[in-house]
């Protein structure tokens, strides 16, 4: 029997979905309900893509957060990729901020589902 992984009570997650991470990528956006700090991102693709889908995470249209750059390489349907935020990156969010998740660089056709982990 697998043991549960404990998570801090002061964490919540936000989900974003894009219809395309491949040839014609589409950005995904999610609104922040309360302030905190982005500590990680997880992404799952619906099918294999050719090349590497580089996924950039930004807050309110600002610069991409470098340590949250997610690299989705190869894999098939249901492949999961993740990245953790560096403590020196500006990953703080406030209520009503908008986080964008923008894929680029891959070819093929696959949807992407992303989960951002926020710690308050």
Structural domains in the chain plus CATH codes: 11-119 (2.60.120.260)
1-20: average pLDDT:
86
pTM score of the predicted model: 0.89
Q: Is residue 30 helix, strand or coil?
A: strand
Q: Does 7 score more than 80 pLDDT?
A: no
Beta bridge partners of 98: 31
- DSSP tag of 6: P
Per-residue DSSP letter, 74: S
pLDDT at 1: 66
Q: Give per-residue pLDDT as tens, 30-74.
A: 999 999 999 999 999 999 888 888 999 999 999 999 999 999 887
Tell me what the pLDDT averaged over the chain comes to.
Answer: 91
Range list of H helices, the chain: none
């Amino acid at each position: 029997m697998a043991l549960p992984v404990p998570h801090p009570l002061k964490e919540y997650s936000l989900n974003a979905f894009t219809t395309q991470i491949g040839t014609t990528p589409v950005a995904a956006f999610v609104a922040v309900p309360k302030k905190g700090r982005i500590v990680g991102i997880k992404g799952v693709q619906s099918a294999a893509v050719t090349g590497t889908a580089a996924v950039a995470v930004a807050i309110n249209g600002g610069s991409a957060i470098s340590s949250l750059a997610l690299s989705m390489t190869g894999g098939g349907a249901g492949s999961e990729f993740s990245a953790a935020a560096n403590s020196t990156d500006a990953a703080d969010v406030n209520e009503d901020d908008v986080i964008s998740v923008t894929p680029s660089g891959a070819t093929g056709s696959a949807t992407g589902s992303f989960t951002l982990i926020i710690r308050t």
